[in-house]
Amino acid sequence: MRELKAITIVEDRTTASRCDRGFLTLERLLLRNEYADGSSSADYPCDLVSRQGIDAVVAVLYEIEGEQRVNVLLRESPRAPVYLRHRKTFVHPDKGSYLTLMELVAGIVEPEHDEPGDKGKCHRAAVEAHEEAGVELPDEAFEVLGDETFASPGTGDEKLFFCGAAASLDGAHQGAGDGSTMEEFGRIHVMELGDAITACRTGAIPDMKTEVGLLRLADYLGYLPQLGCFAATLPPELAARANSLGVQSSSGDVQ
């Protein structure tokens, strides 16, 4: 596979493009808050970034190895918007170039192919697992991990859903992608769950949806990454305390 060296801006089409055209659209709105007592706020501007499909599903692929280890799959690929931060100056300088990022597999909901509800979320997760990581699983292999969360509610209306599935990660490989140039380069990594969470906290994996997805997986499996064990293996009194925090106490039966 070719090594990625840089991402080059060929043309800046900003001034010649309409804000309601393209992969992302921008609504420039003037809003007013209406209050229950009949009063209202002053008018204020609000910009809203959106895209076709709007929402996305994150596929958390994992494998339980032995009695105490959980491995997870991450995909490394270019993310041009964060790489292009090098053109700007920030109060808190970036630690690296962000030429590529490691993330959980994810993909945009496609209204023409995905049905509403959990069944549709699991279908999208299965499609993305195959496209991005070469992992073939039936829709039924996925479980929804918690409910909705907004990615960046101050600027956009994208909502994220998380689905997890056990899979054999040995055969995972860079999938065919969706046919776009943006997905032609990528690498697959398998990491221990606790190590991956630590990498999110240290900034080695600076992706919020990945950290959220990994933590939700740990809760779903009843796995305690700080201790490197399942809650079910703790002494009964400690296992009960773990359960009181919403951690499941199953280990071998969730696979």
Which domain covers residue 160, as residue numbers?
52-214
The reply to whether 170 and 123 lie within a common domain is yes
45 in a structural domain = no
Q: Helix crossing, 193-202 with 208-221: angle to 10°? A: 150
Pair (234, 119) in one structural domain: no
CATH number at residue 195: 3.90.79.10
Asked, for residue 241, whether it belongs to a domain, the answer is yes
Token pair 């070469």 is found at 134
Residue 206 lies in a domain: yes
pLDDT in tens, 20-39: 888 899 999 999 999 999 99
Same domain, 121 and 203: yes
**pLDDT in the model for residue 248:** 59
* DSSP per-residue codes, 43-67: PEEEEEEEETT--EEEEEEEEEETT
Place of tokens 């043309």: 11
**pLDDT at 145 (0 to 100):** 95
How far is the C-alpha of 213 from the C-alpha of 160, rounded, in Å?
A: 10
Band of pLDDT at residue 254, cut at 50, 70 and 90: low
d(CA 181, CA 177): 9
The more confidently predicted of residues 67 and 197 is: 197
With respect to residue 16, please indicate whether it lies within any of the assigned structural domains: no
pLDDT above 50: residue 252: no
Q: Is residue 125 part of a domain?
A: yes
pLDDT of residue 70: 95
DSSP assignment letter at 93: -
* Same domain assignment for residues 69 and 128: yes
Residue 89: CB atoms within 10 Å: 7
Whether residue 22 lies inside any domain: the answer is: no
**Same domain membership, residue 83 and residue 204:** yes
Task: Decide if 196 is inside a domain.
Answer: yes
**For position 113, what pLDDT does the model report?**
86
Give the model's pLDDT for residue 255.
43
pLDDT in tens, 169-199: 998 887 776 667 777 778 999 999 999 999 9
The rounded distance, in Å, linking the Cα atoms of 95 and 80 is 16
Q: Per residue in 91-129, pLDDT tens? A: 999 988 999 999 999 999 998 888 899 999 999 999 999
Is 121 among the domain residues? yes
Q: Indicate if 190 and 255 belong to the same structural domain.
A: no
What pLDDT band is residue 72 in, cutting at 50, 70 and 90? very high
197 with 116, same domain: the answer is: yes
Residues 192 and 154 in one domain: yes
pLDDT on residue 36: 97
190/247 same-domain check: no
Please state the pTM of the whole predicted model: 0.90
| pLDDT, average across residues 64-90 | 92
Count of structural domains within the chain = 2
Beta bridge partners of 142: none
